[in-house]
Chains A and B, each alone.
Chain A
Amino acid sequence: SQTIHQWPATLVQPVGSPLSLECTVEGTSNPNLYWYRQAAGRGLQLLFYSVGIGQISSEVPQNLSASRPQDRQFILSSKKLLLSDSGFYLCASTRNSYNEQFFGPGTRLTVL
């Protein structure tokens, strides 16, 4: 089965600072990878998904970006954080052509 690692677990950053969140996957190869943001009362918002190295699709225009430098590594970045970027960020993975998504433990980001 898949294991998804995310770090850091929690992060407090000032407005205007950069961001880098990392996600790595074990137990599968060539997965589809996803970044979600979960804000209180708003459910899971899909931010980015990737079907392979260097292939990123953005679902929501914003000041965030994603990269996939290796098959099982997915990175979420920002050059300048906004207050509205606060939330719980989740990385998820599926085996190619399957639907069951498995989630990592998440990163709780607070922007002050």
Chain B
Amino acid sequence: QKEVEQDPGPLSVPEGAIVSLNCTYSNSAFQYFMWYRQYSRKGPELLMYTYSSGNKEDGRFTAQVDKSSKYISLFIRDSQPSDSATYLCAMSARAGTALIFGKGTTLSVSS
């Protein structure tokens, strides 16, 4: 079993839709969770950072962590064509250590 699983998609939605992106993981020691957005041929950009379980909201983006289920989600409300990108989840067990990344989900939002 891989440490972090992420459905590669592609996921295609119309503009204005609510998007749900998910990752599952196997290591119960993970407690730091991140979501990155990567546009084609660019470096990943940090979107959301959460510690332990719970929700965090930033504008149209909400990150959710359920440690009991080893499941994290990123919700995008009112999706825009500019949200079309690959979304990577990442996590680690200890501060300052290397992150373990999912393979990324490719999202396409059509106008």
Contact = CB atoms under 8 A, between A and B. Distances in A.
B31 to A, nearest CB: 10
Contacts of A102: 46
Given A32-B96, A49-B98, A99-B34, A41 B103 contact: yes
A99 B49 contact: yes
B96 A99 contact: yes
B99 interface: yes
Interface stretch (A66-74, A78-86, A103-111): A103-111
Nearest to A105: B43
Size category, B interface: 20 to 34
B41 interface: yes
Interface string B38-81: 00011111100100000000000000000000000000000000
A97 B41 contact: no
B101 A44 contact: yes
B103 A106 contact: no
Contacts of B104: 43
A32 B92 CA distance: 14
Interface of A: 4, 32, 34, 41-44, 46, 49, 51, 59, 88, 90, 94, 96-106, 108
Interface of B: 8, 32, 34, 36, 41-46, 49, 88, 90, 92, 95-99, 101-104
28 contacts: A32-B96, A41-B8, A41-B103, A43-B88, A43-B101, A43-B103, A43-B104, A46-B98, A51-B96, A59-B98, A88-B41, A90-B43, A98-B95, A98-B96, A99-B95, A99-B96, A99-B99, A100-B34, A100-B46, A101-B34, A101-B90, A101-B99, A102-B46, A103-B44, A105-B42, A106-B41, A106-B42, A106-B43
Given A99-B96, A103-B44, A106-B43, 5 more contacts: A43-B88, A88-B41, A99-B97, A106-B41, A106-B42
